[in-house]
Amino acid sequence: MSTVTVYGSTGMVGSAITAEAASRGFTVTGVTRGNPDHVKNPVPGVTYVTGDIADTGDVVEKARATDIIVFSVPGPRDGSSVQPIIDAHSRIVAAFAGAKITARIFIVGGAGATRTPDGTMLKDTPDFPAAYKAEAESFARILELWQGSARDLDWTMLAPAPQIAPGEPTESYNLGDDQPAGDFVTAGTFARAAVDELEKPAHRRARFTVANA
């Protein structure tokens, strides 16, 4: 079975992806910025290591040592600058191209960069929550970075429904392309769709969306 390295493995979405991948027999390494010995509720069988998405050299080394690398690191929601997360992805895109990384790259995106039927990004609609605007702006830019990346980089981005919360996976789910596939998704359903994509790639070099059925 393939090896998977998950950045953000202790967050709401990242921990769900980590658990789902481990449950299906993937060999999973969870990356955390804190002490790996102090991870709360570690997933059995997962090896936790220290790492930061901003440390480009270390990201490259981890990508060289795995079959799939997952970035589940959200943007800011506290009014701080969106630039650090954008810069981190910009450096990774450039470094992966230079290093000719062959690992599959899976990015957890944001719903704010998905579009309404008339093509408007959700982040630019009148009712979009101000608290999530900075994160939405950052992932709109991050999507552009990956879309413009070297053609030999095998990336996929999955964006959630506009509302996402902790919860178990549903029996089925809806998928979309640029438009939201529904109004709500649980972290468990998101993780199930993510690992389904890792097992059977269907959205190479593309962004897609998921919602509870």
DSSP string, 166-207: S-PPPS-EEEESSS-S-SEEEHHHHHHHHHHHHHS---TTEE
Task: Inform me whether the pLDDT recorded for 83 exceeds 80.
Answer: yes
List the Cα angle 145/64/202 in 5-degree steps: 55
**Out of 41-45, 59-63, 78-82, 140-144, which region has the weakest mean confidence (pLDDT)?**
78-82
Q: What is the pLDDT, as a whole number, of residue 89?
A: 98
Task: Inform me whether the pLDDT recorded for 10 exceeds 80.
Answer: yes
What's the number of domains the chain is made of?
1
Q: What is the pLDDT, as a whole number, of residue 85?
A: 95
Q: What is the pTM of this model?
A: 0.96
Domain that holds residue 144: 3-212
Residue 79 — pLDDT band, cuts 50, 70, 90? low
Comparing C-alpha atoms, which of 155, 68, 73, 150 is closest to residue 110? 73
**Out of 76-85, 101-110, 169-178, which region has the weakest mean confidence (pLDDT)?**
76-85
pLDDT, tens digit, 9 for 90 and up, residues 118-156: 999 999 999 999 888 889 999 999 999 999 999 999 999
Tell me what the pLDDT averaged over the chain comes to: 96
Question: Which CATH number fits the domain that encloses residue 37?
Answer: 3.40.50.720
